[in-house]
Amino acid sequence: MRRFLQFPVLCLAVGALAACEPDHVIETVVPPTAGVRFIHAVPDTGALDFRFVDLPENSNFGNRTFRLTANLYYKGARAGERHLRIFRTGTTVEVASTVVKDTVVNLEAGKRYTFILWGYATPGSNPPMRLTVIEDDPADPGTQIALRVVNAGVGLGPVDVSQYPNGGDVPGTATWSAVPEFGVSSYITAATGQKRYRVMPAGGGAALFADPLAPAGDPGTVDIEGIPGTTVAGSAVSGFVVPRSVAGSGATNFTTPSLFFLWDRRPPRTCSLC
């Protein structure tokens, strides 16, 4: 019996010693990050995977089809020099390992970036496919909103774009004049409210498609984060003009050009109880 009683006594002694030791604090270092998002605007090719291959992280955008806007929110990516590859999406190793673009980019901590692949992928087509990195850095518009246009409409040429209040008249002068292909306009500030956009060939002419309504957003509450949009002060919104797809290509079939919207700046959360 004596040998059996020694074991629990020894365990109690070890437990007492452990309890007397000070707590160990393990510091975790959060690496500096930037926000990234990837847009597939190539009208003659199929789905693509956008991936930083130098570090494992959840900043990848997989199976992005032409003009796909679903889940185009910013993802956190480690800041610094990064190795980016764009692959063809596929069900076989041969297709999925086909590299479309391979490049090194530098991401600055705290900034947000739009990576847009545009142009034509078919060899010999003009203008050829290229990757552009756009820094999304609008100033705080305060009680107004910030608006910008990106012309990814390869084949459309320069465009005039007008924004106007929903239900109001289209202004006689374009808000952004002669935005070239692969062009990114400056931000303007405007009063909050629901907005429509008209896109025409530079210099005038018929609208290239029906005037789309920009997302209104939602101001949110003290408990729920707001959704940026043209009715929410402090928001910044970009409109992306995109082309029709090339008939018979691997791109998702769209028969007309279009314009879609993404937010570039989220207004700070308001707190009525603070």
pLDDT digits (tens, 9 = 90+) for 157-210: 999 999 999 999 999 999 999 999 999 999 999 999 999 999 999 998 999 999
What is the predicted pLDDT for the residue at 8?
A: 46
3-state helix, strand, coil in the chain (%, to 5): 10, 40, 55
Q: Do 240 and 145 share a structural domain? A: yes
Same domain, 48 and 157: no
- Domain for residue 57, yes or no? yes
Q: Are residues 192 and 93 in the same domain?
A: no
Is there a single domain that holds both residue 120 and residue 149? Answer: no
- More confident of the two residues 8 and 229: 229
In a domain, 25, yes or no: no
Query: Cα–Cα distance between 77 and 59 in angstroms, integer?
Result: 6
* Range in 20-24, 34-38, 84-88 the model is least confident about: 20-24
Tell me the pLDDT band of 4, cut-offs 50, 70 and 90. Answer: very low
Q: Are residues 151 and 108 in the same domain?
A: no
- Digit-coded pLDDT (tens) for 82-123: 999 999 998 676 677 789 999 999 999 999 999 999 999 999
Domain match, 209 and 259 both: yes
Return the structure tokens found at 235. 């928001």
188 and 154 belong to one structural domain = yes
- Domain boundary (81, 113, 137) is at 137
**pLDDT tens track for 258-271:** 999 999 998 876 65
Residues 213 and 90 in one domain: no
Residue with tokens 């090719």: 45
What domain range includes position 224?
138-274
The share of the chain scoring above pLDDT 70, in percent, equals 86
User: Is 248 a domain residue?
Assistant: yes
Extended strands (E) in 90-248: 99-107, 112-118, 130-135, 145-151, 159-165, 176-179, 183-184, 188-190, 195-201, 236-242
Name the phi and psi angles at 184, rounded to 5: -125, 120
Cα 118 from Cα 229, distance rounded (Å):
25
Say if residue 5 is exposed, middle or buried (CB neighbours under 10 Å; 0-12, 13-18, 19+): exposed
Question: Is 90 exceeded by the pLDDT of residue 22?
Answer: no
Q: Are residues 173 and 274 in the same domain?
A: yes
For residues 188 and 132, membership in a common domain is answered with no
- Whether residues 81 and 168 share a domain: the answer is no
**Average pLDDT over all residues of the chain:** 89
Question: What gap in Å lies between CA 213 and CA 2, rounded to an integer?
Answer: 85
> In this structure, what are the phi and psi dihedrals at residue 80, rounded to the nearest 5 degrees?
115, -165
Looking at the predicted structure, is the pLDDT value of residue 14 above 60?
A: no
Q: What is the DSSP letter of 138?
A: P
Task: Give residue 30's pLDDT band: very low, low, confident or very high (50, 70, 90).
Answer: confident
The reply to whether omega before 43 is within 30° of 0 (cis) is no
Both 130 and 150 in a single domain?
A: no
DSSP assignment of 63-83 equals: EE-TT--TT---EEEESEEEE
> What is the predicted pLDDT for the residue at 271?
59
Stretch 249-255: mean pLDDT, rounded?
96
The three-point CA angle 85-91-97 to 5° equals 30
If one counts the domains in the chain, the total is 2
Domain end (from 90, 108, 137)? 137
What are the pLDDT digits (tens) for 115-125?
A: 999 999 999 99
CA 209 – CA 257 distance, rounded (Å): 7
CATH assignment at residue 57: 2.60.40.1120
